[in-house]
Amino acid sequence: MRRWLLGALVTLLGACSERGPAPDPAPSPAADPEPTPVAVSIPAPEPETVPASASTPRSVCPPEMALIDQRFCIDRWEATTVAEDGKAHSPYLAVTHEKVSAESRPGVVPQAYISMEEADLACKRGGKRLCTTAQWVDACMGVTKPKRRFPYGATEQPGSCNAHQGGAHPLMALHNGRRPTDSWNMNDARINQLGSTLAPTAAFEGCVTPEGVHDLVGNLLEWTRGSRPLLMGGHYLDARVNGDGCSYVTERHNETYHDFTTGFRCCHELEAAALEREPAVLPASVSRPAPNPMRSFSDPGAPLPPKPAPPPYEPADAACPTDMELVDGKRCLVPEQHCLRWLEVPGQAPGRACAEFAAPTRCQGATQSMRYCIDRYEYTPKGWDLPLVNVSWGEAQNVCRAMDKRICREEEWEFACEGPEALPYPYGYVRDGNACNHDREDLFDPRAKLRDQRVAGDSLPRCKSPFGVFNLVGNVDEWTSRESRQPPWRSILRGGWWLTGRNRCRAATESHSEIYAGSQTSFRCCKASRK
């Protein structure tokens, strides 16, 4: 497979995760006794075959993949995994830091119990990439109008896909009518070995697209990479609660989450040169736009902008460079912030965000004298209107160093946001989604793609902290450092982004490692003042 892919002219494009606002990490293991080990039997691999309905020539996509819209190839079957020694990894056991490669074959039990991070790595080891959300949707719905609601057509055909299995939930069957939701039990190897649960690939013959892609709906949720980690298509218990068929989306889990329902398949895009070498299949009139030369919201795989030069000091003896503000004062270490009323968000229970805090904030502990410089705005490359996103903590650190700066420590970012009064919001005590860019609705477009709702750094004059620093809450998530943590977990995201969430000065997300990058991840820099 690797040799074929190297011979074919394909581009291996990765999509970024919208590893977006970090959801709550997976729950801690419960005190239930360790489940009895299960003897796992894995069906022997069958010869690779291509459905008779498929017309994609081998010269464009390998036989285990289907061509979609003359743009990319997608696995026909949900992925199974193979260990480094060539032996099949059990589809009933979690993939945790094991170097497995993805394969796509009919008639085998697909891999569940896998996180988005591990799925992406498995695809890469197989010479492919985890499908982006847009690729997955195009494969399931089709690219021409009218779009399909289900892989096979516009109207649901009950029983065509492995979905809506009746009877007791498998966890209840294993736990005498209880349904534990802790991480340990959600990854119990016994679950998908029960009757009427996970089916081998292509077992449901009616659950196939006209291009020959099987089981996009039902069987297992499938990880995709887009502006944030998403699970698509539903699973054998449900393909309806979070959308019908191809529109089914689960967005509440982060990239490290896994349970008995999480699976995946791989994709790869074709280079323009490969298309031109197949005139019988793809006419010469087919054109492809040139790739974006620099990384952007919609092109997370592009390179970073050129390294910036250090900004000047004006006057020459100024405490901070021209693009930075001086932060000088005493920071309250333990503020008392009491919420008077909670923000009402349609479809969400109260308690997610505070609408108004009691004023003033009372400092319950000691104070800390601080003096340093911080960027006035989020990092925006020269010539750009919007802040850079899809950037990891390590990349942000390198950009800051190129300007003779560094990533802000989280306490520096926090003090620059709240000021000496320890304000809950940079603009005061009452939450205002018009003052700063947060509490936005309509996050996703009809294709389950995140809407870009960033704004320019100087477009919201009221979103300014007591020190004159803009957009510290909302707009984009900002990388900071926690010096008490060890690599690769020094990375802390502060401020939240344009959705409703942790958009205040004291909230943080610490569940993303230094290599994570998403469509909302950005940064600003700090440095020591000169006097």
428-452 pLDDT, tens digit each: 999 999 999 999 887 877 767 788 9
Does pLDDT of 350 surpass 90?
no
Instruction: Output 1-7 pairs: Cβ under 8 A, ≥24 positions apart.
Output: 1/62, 1/103, 1/126, 1/127, 2/126, 2/127, 4/62, 5/62, 5/127, 5/128, 5/268, 6/127
Query: What pLDDT, in 10s, does the model give residues 62-81?
Result: 999 999 998 999 999 999 99
Q: What is the pLDDT of residues 82-125, one digit of tens each?
A: 998 889 999 999 998 889 999 999 999 999 999 999 999 999 99
∠ at Cα 286 (285, 291), nearest 5°? Answer: 130
Paired strand residues for 102: 81
Query: Token digits for 504?
Result: 């205040």
Report the 3 state secondary structure along 220-250. CEEEEECCCCEEECCCCCCCCCCCCHHHCEE
Q: How far is CA 114 from CA 34, 68, 75, 253, in A?
A: 20, 26, 17, 12
Tell me how far apart the terminal alpha carbons of the chain are, to the nearest angstrom.
61
For 218-276, write each residue's pLDDT tens digit. 999 999 987 788 999 999 999 998 998 999 999 888 889 999 999 999 999 885 434 33
Where does residue 316 rank: exposed (0-12), middle (13-18), buried (19+ CB within 10 A)? exposed
Q: Let me know how long the chain is.
A: 531
- Please name which of 397, 415, 414, 393 lies closest in space to residue 406, comparing C-alpha atoms: 397
What whole-number percentage of the chain has pLDDT above 70? 83
Three-class secondary structure of residue 139 per DSSP: helix
Q: How would CATH label the architecture of 297-531?
A: Alpha-Beta Complex (3.90)
Structure tokens at 296: 């952007």
User: What pLDDT, on the 0 to 100 scale, is given for residue 236?
Assistant: 96
Report DSSP letters for 104-116, one per residue. Answer: E-TTSPPP-S--H
Looking at per-residue pLDDT, the higher value among 36 and 406 belongs to 406
Do 375 and 322 form a contact (C-beta atoms < 8 A)? Answer: no
- Is there a cis peptide before residue 488, judged by omega within 30 degrees of 0? yes
Q: Is the predicted pLDDT of residue 316 greater than 90, yes or no?
A: yes
Q: Is the peptide bond before 360 cis (omega within 30 degrees of 0)?
A: yes
CATH of 1-23+56-286, one of 3.90.1580, 3.40.50, 1.10.3470, 1.20.120: 3.90.1580
Residue spans per domain, the chain: 1-23+56-286, 297-531
Encode 43-81 in three state secondary structure: CCCCCCCCCCCCCCCCCCCCCCEEEECCCEEEECCCEEE
Distances (CA, A) of 359 to 92, 257, 417, 424: 54, 39, 17, 10
In this structure, of 36-40, 114-118, 351-355, the range with the lowest mean pLDDT score is 36-40
Cα–Cα distance measured from residue 339 to residue 351, given in angstroms and rounded to the nearest whole number: 10
What are the structure tokens assigned to 292, written together? Answer: 């974006």
Q: How confident is the model at residue 167 (pLDDT cuts 50, 70, 90)?
A: confident
- Predicted confidence at residue 176, as pLDDT, reads 86
Please tell me what DSSP assigns to residue 362.
E
Average pLDDT estimate for 488-495:
93
The winner for highest mean pLDDT among 53-62, 212-221, 478-487 is: 212-221
Q: Which amino acid is at 152?
A: Y
Q: Is the pLDDT of residue 139 over 90?
A: yes
DSSP 217: S
Q: Structure tokens of 387?
A: 């802040």
- What integer pLDDT is reported at residue 417 of this predicted model? 98
The answer to whether 199 and 220 are in contact (CB under 8 A) is no
**Average pLDDT over every residue of 347-369:** 88
- When pLDDT is averaged across residues 201-229 and rounded to a whole number, the result is 94
* pLDDT score for 11: 31
- In angstroms, the CA 110 to CA 260 distance is 11
Q: Please, what is the average pLDDT of the chain?
A: 83
Burial of 342 (0-12, 13-18, 19+ CB in 10 A): middle
Other C-beta atoms lying within 10 Å of the C-beta of residue 470: 23
Predicted structure pTM score: 0.51
Model pLDDT for residues 497-525, shown as the tens digit of each residue: 998 888 999 989 988 889 899 899 999 99
3-state secondary structure of 130: strand
Closest CA to 80 of 201, 231, 252, 253: 201
Q: What is the pLDDT confidence band of residue 347, given thresholds at 50, 70 and 90? A: low
pLDDT in tens, 41-67: 333 333 333 333 333 333 489 999 999
Confidence band, pLDDT 50/70/90 cuts, at residue 365: confident
Q: Which residue has the tokens 């320890």?
A: 422
Write down the pLDDT at residue 505: 96
